[in-house]
Each structure stands twice: as C-alpha cells, then as structure tokens.
Amino acid sequence: MKTLTVSVVTPDGPVLEDTYEMVSCKAENGELGILPGHIPLVAPLAISAVRLKRDSSEDKLAINGGFLEVRPDKVTILAQSAEKPSDIDIARAEAAKERAEKRLNSNDDHIDRLRAELALRRAVNRLDVAQNS
C-alpha cells in the first residue's frame, strides 16, 4: 500500500512526522480526503480534527487553524497549534469552553464575540478529539 509522509508543525516545533495511507481534514472550503498521488494543493484549515489513517487504525489531532500543503507523496500541515489526544488537558479544555460560553451568553457590549466564538470552537474541537480517540 502506498503511503504519504505527514508532517505537522506549529510555531513551537514539530508535533508529528509519520507515514499514513490517508489524511482527512477540514479546509475552510470543506472536507478534504488526501491519498498518495494527490495533486499539489495549498488550503487554509479550519479549527477541526485531522484524521490520519493507516492499516485499520486512525490517529487524530486537534488542529486550530493553519495551512495544508499537499504534494503527491507528502502532506505538510502548518498549524497555529496542534495536539495529540494524549496531550490534551480535558479539564482545561472544559474550563475554556465554559468561559467562552459565559462570554457569549453575557449581555456585555464590551465582549469580543468573534474571539469568544473562536475560543469556544477550539475548546469543543479539543474535547472532541480527546474524548473520541
């Protein structure tokens, strides 16, 4: 079976470098499934899980935006942040989710609603990856 080399890099350094048979991720314009031999592509990534498939197993990463670069034999993800399920602090993610929900539900006009919505999406994504892996 052909494979792709997958590299996930953040400003803090590399998070993952391995080979997989398929990469599934959510770009700003929709879901992408990448197999070996895919045409070259660059796409902005949404806050979402990246699913990495090999044999009958699947690994997940929580990605908080960034860019995806695809070449026929390699996928590079340059993410603002990326976490493996084992690295996610569930209590911290739940606290962040609650804080963001409180901000969004308050009637305070000084709340940066976009920032609170992004914080909520990041927290929900982290919880989803941690609890469903």
- Per DSSP, the residues of 17-67 read EEEESEEEEEETTEEEEE-TTPPPEEEEEEEEEEEEEETTEEEEEEEEEEE
CATH number at residue 73: 2.60.15.10
Which 8-state DSSP code applies to residue 85? G
Tell me which residue range forms the domain holding 127: 89-131
Claim to verify: residue 19 and residue 58 sit in the same structural domain: yes
Asked whether residue 72 falls in the same domain as residue 93, the answer is no
Average pLDDT, integer, range 6-26 = 96
Query: Can you tell me the mean pLDDT for 85-100?
Result: 94
* pLDDT surpasses 80 at 1: no
Q: How many distinct structural domains can be found in the chain?
A: 2
Range 25-34 average pLDDT: 94
Stretch 35-52: mean pLDDT, rounded?
96
pTM of the model: 0.88
Residues 11 and 64 in one domain: yes
Residue 106 predicted with pLDDT over 90? no
Place of tokens 């979402």: 48
73 and 98, same domain (yes or no) = no
User: In terms of domains, do 54 and 22 share one?
Assistant: yes
9 and 71 in a single domain? The answer is yes
User: Do residue 59 and residue 106 come from a single domain?
Assistant: no
* Dihedral angle computed from the Cα positions of residues 114, 126, 69 and 36, in that order, rounded to the nearest 10 degrees: -140
